[in-house]
Amino acid sequence: MDTQHSPDAARPVLEAPDIARALTRIAHEIVERAKGADDVVLLGIPTRGVHLAHRLADKLEGITGQKMAVGSLDTTMYRDDLRLKPARTLARTEIPADGVDGRLVVLVDDVLFSGRTIRAALDALGDIGRPRAVQLAVLVDRGHRELPIRADYVGKNIPTSLREAVRVQLAEEDGRDTVLLGLKDTAPAGEQ
């Protein structure tokens, strides 16, 4: 089906090369701000944040020549809407063997929206250890924050209306790299 001509259809706002460039830039910014990446731990937030964290780690290894510590941090149990929705399936939490104590943790997610996932991630992180500092890297910041949270590294700011939905697709999960913007009513499952 050709969706390009339908006015309601999701349109791509970032394509594969844009995503790759954004991640390269974020990787350089991390090295710049951390003055190297010696004590950096990248923690992806499932599902797509984990893939992005691994891609960022590859790029950081390319820049610094060091092996990066990568993990995933599931925020499900710490969500403030846990009781309002059906029980969610838990995703993986994997903390690198050296832990996060005293290190710079960079949380990685695909979309930053209300900020509630990041709040939950900060709570989850508190139960795992005490990082030296926590930073946030996101591929897309679509605005509409409900909490005083902002990202340190942003792939692209995409001003949206609340009627719209942002959908990030990554090769590891969806077979291709793209960021789609469409209307919420017509959005398939998985959009945010």
**In b/e form, how buried is each residue of 21-48, taking b as 16+ CB within 10 angstroms?**
ebbeebbeebbeebeebebbbbbbbbbb
Does 114 bind another protein (CB under 8 A)? Our answer is yes
Which C-beta is closer to another protein: that of 59 or that of 167? 167
Which C-beta is closer to another protein: that of 5 or that of 85? 85
Which of 14, 41, 106, 112 lies at the binding interface for another protein (CB under 8 A)?
112
Which C-beta is closer to another protein: that of 20 or that of 91? 91
Least spacing, CB of residue 188 vs another protein, in Å? 10
Binding mask of the shown chain, residues 10 to 39, with x at each position contacting another protein by CB under 8 A: ------------------------------
Nearby residues of 108 by Cβ (< 8 Å), 6 or more positions away: 42, 43, 44, 45, 49, 50, 52, 53, 56, 137, 138
Nearby residues of 119 by Cβ (< 8 Å), 6 or more positions away: 80, 147, 149
Specify whether the CB–CB gap between 167 and 151 falls below 8 A: no
Contacts to another protein from residues 47-106, by CB under 8 A: 47, 74, 76-79, 81-93
Least spacing, CB of residue 36 vs another protein, in Å? 28
Rg (CA), the chain: 17
Of 50, 191, 75, nearest to 125 by C-alpha is 75
Least spacing, CB of residue 165 vs another protein, in Å? 10
Phi, psi of 63 (to 5 degrees): -80, -45
Tell me, by CB under 8 A, how many residues bind another protein.
36
Does 162 bind another protein (CB under 8 A)? Our answer is no
Residue numbers of the site for another protein (CB under 8 A)?
A: 46-47, 74, 76-79, 81-93, 109, 111-117, 123, 127-129, 189-192
